[in-house]
Chain A
Amino acid sequence: MDGLAGYLLRRLLFLPIALLIVSFATFYITRWGPGDPISVYSGQYRDPEAFERVRHKYGLDKPIYEQYGIWLRDVVTEGDFGVSFRYRDRTIPEILGPKIWVSFRVGLWAFILSFAIGIPAGVLAATKQGNAGDPLIIGSFLFFQSIPVLVLTPILVLIFAAKLHWLPAGGFDGIFSKSIIIPTIVLTLPGLAGIARLARAATLATLHEDFVRTARAKGLRGDVVVMRHVARNSLVPVMTTVVGLSFVGLVEGAIITETLLGIPGVGSFLFESVTGRDYNVILAMVLLTTTLFILANLIVDLALVVLDPRIRAQGGQLR
């Protein structure tokens, strides 16, 4: 497996390079753009001289490349991501840790449900091709996907929280509390269509394969055929590809959902940090998400190679 080990190495080497580039670019964009966190978080007192003194204290008056060098050194040698201007009493890992944990739990059910509902629905739609079933399933999922999160969330809150008082209006109390219901609904619905469609396409592709037709000709029952042969071949590529990309979708969906529902997760925090120019927090989060994305893609590609014999046989279209 020389090729595989080499491939893995190459991909892994890409990670630090990408992080360097990304951190540098983010660093420059945030600091080059106008505005700085000192004036944002200083309340209504505008004392330019005092601001300068405070900027000096935090090293913000140094040239940007020098600041970057200092930051890089601190991160690499001590794991010190710097100070957050929004939460001066906490270190950045202490701030981000709980928030990430909250966002993770909020998205967990949605993630599971997307697959638990999407894949069987997609397979079902494929088998029903030709009837009304197929377009109906996919169509309704597409419909859900078309309703913007911005619209759905306030409506759900209005009905279930304000009017019926069944659910809380927001916040987060844990994965088994009522507060998870609205976010789960809102985060699951848009992703169903994509997953179902992939599952359907993969199933269809396999259904037309020769060996399936052979099996059918031999008289095996339709559903057994589907389960054994189709699922094996279609499930794997579907799952691996989509897992990586659904994660992306969840992260983006989370920003709006968390902001609208007042959930103290990493999505709403990212938005706050950007508008507040909380430099170090922005950097830390960008690095984190970039790392996660790259790793997710890597795992996905690897899984594809390892699990799907067809790709392995071809030598892989490894990019």
Chain B
Amino acid sequence: MADRSDDVTRRRLLRDGLWGACLAGVGGVVGFAAQKGRKTDLLWQIDPYKCIACGNCATHCVLEDSAVKCMHVHAICGYCRICFGFFDPEPFELTEGAENQICPTGAIERKFVEDPYYEYNIDESLCNGCGKCVKTCNAFGNGSLFLQVQHDRCVNCNQCAIAAACPSQAFQRVPADNPYLLKSVDHA
């Protein structure tokens, strides 16, 4: 009988010890993670200088309507009459007909400003994030068009499905207080 109760107290001690160790373990993990001091959430962004406009952004996003859209920085744009992001590489004519545009959804709007300059804007509701305009703008133009994750659409998955499929590994996490990586004029 005494044997049994000793057994029981030994077992209880072991159990309590393990319990304390587990609690301390959790506390330790919390402390270690917390001391790195990240207070804000982390969001996904594409590094526009690494992006090769492969087209995965349109197909791999978990959302039916991809959270990645094309953005335009007008400060970099050359306002060319023959915009390489707007027109097909071999346009039939320089008109805005569907057969001459490179964008499959017609999301780029072309507005005459003054001779010979035209303004180009993206209609986000039509853009599907395929990057065809980005590829040609980077190859032949000023590179003012680029693909970027839009935070009002992005669900911020812990593992971004597009990031996993990106061939140039252009996706990175950025803190929520500086949530956008945009192209700038001074980039070398």
Do A and B pair up? The answer is no
